[in-house]
Structure 1
Amino acid sequence: MDQSWMNSISPFVRAARIMKSSSLTGEWMDHDHVFTYIEQGEAEFFLGGVKYEAREGDILLMHPLMSHIIKSTSTVPLIQFIFHFDLFYDEERSLIINTHASKRMRKKVVEREMQLASIVPISHLQIADRIDLKKRFLLLHKEFLDKRPGGSLMMKAICLELLHIFLKNQTDRKDDEGKMTKGWAFIEKAINFIHESYSDAQLNNTSISEYAEVSTNHLSHLFKKQLGISVQKYVTHIRIEQAKKRIIEGKLTLTEIADVVGFSSIHLFSRSFKATVGITPSKFAAMQSALINENR
């Protein structure tokens, strides 16, 4: 794909939302681009008649007028991070709030907005990129809700970063499919142990590598090479994800959550949460409460 056109794009973000649904089946067609990140769950996406199996960590990018049918396939609720955008700013199109493609709007989709029509519309992210994406999306979502002066410029910048994450994970995707990851037996054993032991504040690289029956240095090398993340950062990622689930459940205080997921203090928890998610635990809790009230 000729990428010279990318030097001139100036994205306009029209909408951003977090969508949670226990049972989702439907068909949509929009006049703009739809960027969807699967935060939780699995679903079948039929994009332009082609079926894609999407799971946690996948990005799907639908170009304008691409028919997409979505069907949930997992027992847990499907959570999607979604934003709509145009590749190029147009004053007339910027006034369009509704994203659904009416017959009138279909005539207004110009050729330059179809630059991404030829790409494979799905990318699967490594752990490091998932963490980066979530942090950036939540910042974009906050800017969209706050509607502050200069917010459109911030959203434009974040949109470009998220597009870069999507495109860079397209590289060699087909070549890697169906091949066993080198050293996966050690990685899988370490991951299973982390998921079982993340609540232990004393969990460290040494205990994890001993359980995986591999040297600490080699396990660190495998995580960096195959997952794009350090062992300790993966542990923090799991703890933060578990904390987010408990915050959403709303049954425990933040201090109790910090203890349950393995942080030695509320201060370390707050600092790690903000560094990973981009906002404090209390702000995240407030956003979740607002989202629940909005969907009632």
Structure 2
Amino acid sequence: MTVKRSIGELYGSYFFEPDSLIYVNRAVETFEVVEHRHDFVELTYVFEGSGVHYINGEAIAVSRGDVFFLPVGVSHVFRPSTLRKERQLIVYNCVLDVRFMAGLPGAFPESADILAMFSGSSATWLQARDTGDFLPLFMELYREYAGKPPGYRSLLTVLVVRIFIGLYRRASTDGAEGGAWSPVHQAIAHMEAHYRSKELSLEKLAEVSKLSERQFSRLFQKQTGMSYLAYLHHLRIEAACRLLKASADTVSSIASSVGYTDMKFFHRLFKRTTGLTPGQYRAAAAGEGEKLRR
């Protein structure tokens, strides 16, 4: 049975300022943003921390220096390894209107060849590791967009083109990777649908992925950067965060609903993951909600 994921929609009109086809920010990733697809192109740089980047259902372990190209229609979301302030997952995002992309061909030499892999229905997501050339470009993008000095729009365009050229070179030398579905992903989908179950086991997940337990454990670690058990705890704590924020249920009730019967273990794991106790997390979330209502 295919497990359906809940995927939201983001629209460029929410980000772009009048007369601007580029938006740049620096964001701290949390558990609050839902997996989403969008009607714009996105370039992303992992600046600090580590976690998992879900792209079209595939889980990719990420850390400082990972660069991503995400075309229109690809679903994705970042999830941090922890919410502790000293280990936050921080990313630079450069959002590009499709009209910006449509205006680039012919704007510089070799543009048709370089942009072919980033445009049209055949475009797929790409990942590359920075060796020192991408970070200065993303940092300058952010400074120019935030400061908006004279001529900043022209410089933003130049910087974006340089990033595309860098990704094109990596892909041309097999240094960038695209996504592909593997047996582990069906197990991940199964975990996302059944993480509450106390019967979710290594044996069951290996069966779902049609691998031996040893093969499954090895491939899961390679694909996600964590063990299946660490990933399961990740899903459960993420769900607990949502319930603490959105419901008035007791902490013990929430712990039980996401798969934990040992309250001491749940409290210890929750604080280790988020840096807060469940009660502190709920109070902080309530405080943020009150600020938004003012």
* TM-score for both structures, normalised by structure 2: 0.50
**Residue 233 (1) aligns with residue 233 (2):** no
Q: In 1, Cα distance between the equivalents of 2:261 and 2:238?
A: 17
1:47, distance to aligned residue in structure 2 (A): 6.3
1:218, distance to aligned residue in structure 2 (A): 0.8
**Residue 118 (1) aligns with residue 120 (2):** no
Structure 2 counterpart of 1:57: 77
**Residue 208 (1) aligns with residue 205 (2):** yes
**Residue 42 (1) aligns with residue 37 (2):** yes
CA contact (8 A) 1:201 1:264 kept: no
Q: How does 1:65-144 map to 2 (within 5 A)?
A: 87=139, 99=146, 101=148, 105-106=149-150, 118-120=162-164
Q: In 2, Cα distance between the equivalents of 1:23 and 1:33?
A: 15
> Deviations along 1:178-209, whole A, 9 cap, x unmatched?
xx34xx23x13422332343223353323332
Q: 1:262 to 1:35 in 2, by over 3 A?
A: same
1:172, distance to aligned residue in structure 2 (A): 6.0
Q: What amino acid is aligned across from residue 228 of structure 1 in structure 2?
A: G
Match of 1:219 among 198, 201, 216: 216
Q: In 2, Cα distance between the equivalents of 1:192 and 1:46?
A: 26
| Secondary structure of 2:40 counterpart | strand
- Bigger Cα displacement from structure 2, 269-278 vs 248-257: 269-278
Residue ranges of structure 1 left out of the alignment (5+ in a row):
1-20, 70-85, 124-170
1:250, distance to aligned residue in structure 2 (A): 1.8
Q: In 1, Cα distance between the equivalents of 2:147 and 2:288?
A: 22
Q: In 2, Cα distance between the equivalents of 1:208 and 1:51?
A: 31
Q: In 2, Cα distance between the equivalents of 1:67 and 1:228?
A: 33
Q: In 1, Cα distance between the equivalents of 2:281 and 2:250?
A: 13
CA contact (8 A) 1:46 1:68 kept: yes
| Secondary structure of 2:163 counterpart | coil
Q: 1:205 to 1:288 in 2, by over 3 A?
A: same
1:31, distance to aligned residue in structure 2 (A): 11
CA contact (8 A) 1:31 1:99 kept: no
Match of 1:287 among 284, 287, 291: 284
> Deviations along 1:66-115, whole A, 9 cap, x unmatched?
7799xxxxxxxxxxxxxxxx948xxxx9xxxx9584xxx44689x89x86
- Structure 1's consecutive aligned runs of 4 or more residues displaced over 6 angstroms after TM superposition are 66-69, 114-117
Q: What amino acid is aligned across from residue 37 of structure 2 in structure 1?
A: E
Match of 2:185 among 184, 188, 196: 188
Q: How does 1:163-182 map to 2 (within 5 A)?
A: 174-177=176-179, 180-181=180-181
Q: 1:55 to 1:288 in 2, by over 3 A?
A: farther
Q: In 2, Cα distance between the equivalents of 1:198 and 1:47?
A: 31
Q: RMSD across aligned C-alpha pairs, in angstroms?
A: 4.6
Identity, % of aligned pairs? Answer: 20
Q: 1:32 to 1:194 in 2, by over 3 A?
A: closer
Q: In 2, Cα distance between the equivalents of 1:240 and 1:265?
A: 14
Q: In 2, Cα distance between the equivalents of 1:106 and 1:31?
A: 16
| Secondary structure of 1:57 counterpart | strand
1:262, distance to aligned residue in structure 2 (A): 0.6
Q: In 2, Cα distance between the equivalents of 1:188 and 1:108?
A: 42
Match of 1:272 among 269, 275, 282: 269
Residue ranges of structure 2 left out of the alignment (5+ in a row):
1-7, 44-69, 79-90, 100-137, 168-172
Q: 1:22 to 1:227 in 2, by over 3 A?
A: closer
